[in-house]
Chains A and B, each alone.
Chain A
Amino acid sequence: MISAPSLLHRRKRPHDASSPPSNLHGPQRSRRFCGWSVGSRFFASSSIPPGAGFFQVDMGNFFSSFPAFWPRGKGLREYKGLVDACDLTTVVTTDDAKFPPVPVVTRTINDPRNAVLNSEPYYKKAHEKARSHDKRTSEISLQVNLLEETRAELQKSAEAPKEDFSQLFIPLTAEEENEVHECLYGRGSSIEVLALHEPSNIEVSREKFWCLKPRAWLNDEVINLYLELLKERERREPKRFLKCHFFNTFFYKKLACGKNGYDYKSVKRWTTNRKLGYELIECDKIFVPVHRDIHWCLAIINMKEKTFQYLDSLGGVDHHVSKVLAKYIAEEVKDKSNKEIDLSSWHEELVDYIPFQKNG
């Protein structure tokens, strides 16, 4: 075995008798330069084609990884020792005469420069090798960007409603809680009107109010009244809320479920400027409750984002609703505002980031 210090020492005295055997072409190549002075060695090694050094290292790795395939001669063991003991890029002195070459490699390369010249230039290989990771790197960076964006969005959506919720949903006082409890479970005539909303003429009797009990079926009146209240809130504070229009629960039925299917004329008069004071084209969102026999869904014509959204707490999908509403909004805008809507840039969105009901 040869230790690194002795190797260094030998470099200075290249023809020392104790120099290790060289039956390997790598060190053979090195021998050319070993007789030179130390100062010139730097020059020499810098003038070696880069492929040569690369080749050496490669061979070393190759040997050490497949020791069993090669004859277990002294040379190989010594070479392995070299590999273990020192950096192979350093120059090793050898003596061919003392140790005849062991056929470790069948093809001997006398002048490694030829090999380098005949093969592809090293820098090309190195460049390609380095570039081979580029694709993956760009993929990773894309993924990172995507994840960052998603995270930012989630953070935003997590933060935004937090402040809103505290303002929008004020907890009921004890007194109000009692009142609600009285309405839901108190005694009294079932047809007694508990609430009358003058502008919409919606009366909520005790019987209708019961639909707000846990696990009860919701009726049209409470939904329509709630939508009216949402509109009132928006009118009160137009700067704070999006401009919305809320159709009642009968609109979709009238528009799409008549005897002749879709019929714009049947709802044409529902949205005159005289009644509303605005046109639908000015709205950010238009809400359309959809009653599906025994289940409530909600469709939204999102004018701002040019989407037809469909919300179903049972996870249902209905492309027909979007088609009907697309047809409707195009006709409505043409009729009331005399404008054309280019629906080709609109798309359908099945909203799935909503609470889902577990009953049903």
Chain B
Amino acid sequence: MQAPAPAPEEDSKAGVKSPEFITIKVVDQEERRPVRHTIRTTDKLQVVMDRYYSEAPEVTYGTGSFYFDDIRLKGDKTPAQLKMEDGDIIDYFAPQIGG
């Protein structure tokens, strides 16, 4: 999984033309099981989200929110748009309800 990481860095130094691969980690707040996923920086983040839902059976598909720091993620955005780098962490937050 970590293997392609050095290559994109070289790419980014050379130029940004070719799509680079980065590995993104998705964690929940209980830090039960981080889900790693490697995608192209031009791929949509929906891929990562779907991967997370598939690996976390206790989470209902489509619920909760994904945040990159304080930025809420939408499935149609790409890592490049968010200037994400290899090894960056995405937070999954379960829905909060309260009275």
Which of B62, B67, B70, B73 has the most A CB atoms < 10 Å from its CB?
Answer: B70
State the CA gap A197–B92 with chains docked (Å): 20
A284 interfacial by beta-carbon distance below 8 Å: no
Interface size bucket, A side? 35 or more
Set of chain B residues within 8 Å of A224, measured between Cβ atoms: 72
Question: Are B97 and A201 in contact, with the CB atoms below 8 A?
Answer: no
Residue of A nearest to B73 (CB): A201
B89 to chain A, nearest CB (A): 9
Is residue A202 within 8 Å, beta carbon to beta carbon, of the partner chain? yes
Q: Which residues of A contact B77 (CB under 8 A)?
A: 201
Complex contacts, B91 vs chain A, CB 8 Å: 250, 254
From the candidates A211, A253, A270, name the one contacting B29 in the complex (CB within 8 A).
Answer: A253
**A269 within 8 Å of B (CB atoms):** yes
In the bound complex, do residue A259 and residue B31 qualify as a contact, i.e. CB atoms below 8 Å apart? yes
Residues of A within 8 A of B74 (CB): 201, 203
Interface digits, B55-85 against A, CB 8 Å rule (1 contact, 0 not)?
0000000100101011111100100000000
- Assess the B29–A217 pair: CB atoms within 8 A: no
In angstroms, how far is the closest chain A Cβ from the Cβ of B28? Answer: 11
A-B contact count (CB 8 A): 67
Residues in chain B near residue A357, CB distance under 8 A: 99
CB distance from A314 to the nearest CB of B (A): 9
Closest to B70 in A: A270
Cβ contact of B93, chosen from A217, A220, A360, cutoff 8 A: A220
Q: B2 at interface (Cβ–Cβ under 8 A)?
A: no
Residues of B in contact with A, size category: 20 to 34
Closest to A247 in B: B70
Query: If A201-B73, A201-B77 touch, does A219 touch B99 (CB 8 Å cutoff)?
Result: no
- What is the 8 Å Cβ interface bit string for chain A, positions 222-252, against chain B (1 contact, 0 not)? 0010000000000000000000000111110
Give the chain A neighbours of B15 by CB distance below 8 A. Answer: none
**Inter-subunit contact B72/A291 (CB<8 Å):** no
A200 proximal to B (CB < 8 A): yes
Residues of B within 8 A of A293 (CB): 98
**Min distance, Cβ B92 to any Cβ of chain A, angstroms:** 10
Distance between B73 CB and nearest chain A CB, rounded to angstroms = 7
Contact A219 B97, CB 8 Å, known A254-B91, A257-B29:
yes
**A250, B93: Cβ atoms under 8 Å?**
yes
CA distance A247 to B62 in the complex (A): 23
- Chain B residues positioned under 8 Å from A269 (CB to CB): 69
| A97 CB within 8 Å of chain B | no
The yes or no answer to A107 lying at the interface (CB within 8 A) is no
* A/B interface sample: 16 pairs, CB < 8 A: A191-B62, A200-B72, A201-B72, A201-B77, A219-B97, A221-B65, A224-B72, A250-B65, A250-B93, A250-B96, A251-B70, A253-B29, A258-B29, A293-B98, A295-B99, A359-B99
The interface of chain B, by Cβ under 8 A from chain A, is 29-31, 62, 65, 67, 69-74, 77, 91, 93, 95-99
- A interface with B by C-beta (< 8 Å): 191, 200-203, 211, 217-221, 224, 247-251, 253-254, 257-259, 267, 269-271, 275, 291-296, 357, 359-360
11 new A-B contacts at CB < 8 Å, known A218-B98, A250-B65 = A200-B72, A211-B97, A220-B93, A220-B95, A250-B93, A257-B29, A259-B31, A275-B70, A292-B98, A294-B97, A296-B99
